[in-house]
Structure formats: C-alpha cells, structure tokens
Amino acid sequence: MIRRRDVLAGLLAGSFGAGMPGGSRAMTAEEMAERMRDYQRKALDKFPLKLIETTGDKALAKWQELKAAGQGSPIILAGDETGALGNMLNPFGPDAPEEPAPVDDILRLAAGIEFPADLVKQRKAESEFFLQQFKKDLAAKPDMSLPRITQTDGVTTRTLSREEVLAAMESEPEEPPLGEWPAKPEPSIGLSVARNILTGVPLPKVYVGIAPTGDGTAIPAYLRWGGWNECPAAEYHVAAMRGWRDRYGAELVGMSDDTINLRVASRPKTREEALALAREHYIYCADVIDQGFPSYSALAAYLMANDWWYFWWD
C-alpha cells in the first residue's frame, strides 16, 4: 500500500531539494528529517484535537478517565512508532491541497445520510462511472495495459488471461460466502491501535486526543478522516457511528490512519440479527472479510461474542 506519508516524503524531497542553494542538490537525511519535523509542527498548530501522550498499556484507562471528566470527547490515536499520527496530520499540513472542509458542513451531510443504504448507492454510482470510463479507454486503445490478477485455491496460484481480466473487470462483484457457523468464534480483537500489529506488544507511545465536542461520533468530522482508497468519506463514518451508537451503544475508542476500534455496550441477540450486522460491516469496510474473517457467519459469530469491533482499510 502506498501511504500518504510516503507520497508526502517524495513531494518534500522534490520541492525542497530543488529550491535549496546549489540548484538540484539532493537533500540529506538530516535535512529531510528537519523538514518533516517542521511540517508536523505546523500541522499540529492546526490540528483540532488536544493531544495527551501516554503508553499503549495505559491508553484505555486514560481514555476512560478523560471521558468521565466530561471535557470533550477522547479518542486513542496510534503513536509515533507506527507513523499513523503523521498521516492523520496531513489534512492540516501547510502543503495540503486544499483547506479542510468545515466540520459543520461534514456533520450536515452526515445528518442526511441513511446508512448503509446511501453508501451502497454511492459505491454503485462510482463503480458504474469508472466502468464506463474504462470501456471508453479500451475502445480508444484496445491493446491498453490491464492490471495483473491472480487466483488461488490455497494450493496453486495462476494468473488470469487478458480475456479473463476483462470479464472480471466488467462483472458484478461477488458477495462473500455465507459459510458455516463456527463452533467457536474468533477471540476479541480489542484495542488494536494501541498495540504493535505484528507482536501484540503495547506501543511505547500513543496519544489520547480530545475533540471539542460532547458527541464522540463527530470525531471523524473533526479529523477529516476518510475519502481515500475504499475508505468512506468522513460524513459516512459519522452516520455509521450514530446508527451503531443508537442500536448497540457503540463508542469510537481508537483510531489510526487506516483503522477504527469501536466498543459496544450490547451485542446482536440472534444469528439473523448478527448476519444482518455483518453485512453492514462489509458494506462499510469490505476488508473485514476480504482480508479478515472467512465468511459472513464467522464475522457474525464474532459480533455475538465480543464487545470490540475492528475496521481496517488498505
């Protein structure tokens, strides 16, 4: 995955390097690091959340303490080790392509969204637009390059032919399998943003941000979070949070630059309800199944057994 941090680093190296004394001299690692620090300092000046430093193992306790204080809405943010905070600063940086959208505008859009139905409509419209554009490009240049697509059955892997790639690009996406109900659900994911994703060890430094609002569902609007790759725009996150808050007492507890951790007060009571909720999760974040749980039933069983929900966008 190409991260915004890496794109920013490339832009900084190109623009600052060209303008330095000596013409096109490349920036040194030390100069680059100082430019990045200066960029982050300026972005932090405009960052809408007050940041309190803590450690991964104490993050949830600090979040609960700040929530009880009632002075804004706290959110645990992944720390410096992951680079996530740097990415979350990008909308507020001096080189951002445009001024961040006003929070009130995002919240106004969120209030008019019917989730998940409107997200389905938006994605369908986008898919149709890109398909029609692809067909125009293909008609103009029949030998144009196509993406490389592979299939695997878990044992062997093969690359699709050009004809198969074309058919796949023009076909409707397949629904995930329903699957068998698991004998034992997956264990709780917990507060993943406060841990090293590979080792599970708590991060040495994380932050708890405090948003200037009593409504925790509005935090994605304050952060201008989303709207890249398959991640919905901020207003859709707000709408989803509000729907799940009303039905399951869901609270937004943790975020990184590509991950959301929710904790719920109540779980779905029946398999039918859990499967319907699993489909909502998939509409919101397809990677929960495409790169996570093997089926709707596996995700539904998890939702009936655990209080933590996890979403991640590649």
pLDDT tens for 139-173 read: 999 999 998 888 877 788 999 999 998 888 888 88
How many CB atoms neighbour CB 31 within 10 A?
A: 16
Number of DSSP helices (H) and strands (E) in the chain, helices first: 12, 8
Q: What is the pLDDT of residue 98?
A: 79
Q: What is the pLDDT of residue 81?
A: 64
Rg of the chain over all Cα atoms, to the nearest angstrom: 22
Q: Which helix (H) or strand (E) holds 271?
A: helix 271-284
Beta-ladder partners of 255: 77, 260
pLDDT tens for 213-252 read: 999 999 999 999 999 989 999 999 999 999 999 999 999 9
Q: What is the pLDDT of residue 213?
A: 97
Average pLDDT of the residues of the chain: 89
Whether pLDDT at 208 is above 90 = yes
Given pLDDT bands bounded at 50, 70 and 90, which one contains residue 29? confident
Given pLDDT bands bounded at 50, 70 and 90, which one contains residue 1? very low
Given pLDDT bands bounded at 50, 70 and 90, which one contains residue 115? very high
Beta-ladder partners of 74: 210
SS3 32: helix
SS3 16: helix
Q: Where are the domains of the chain?
A: 42-116+177-314, 117-170
Rounded to an integer, what distance in angstroms lies between the CA atom of residue 67 and that of residue 260?
18
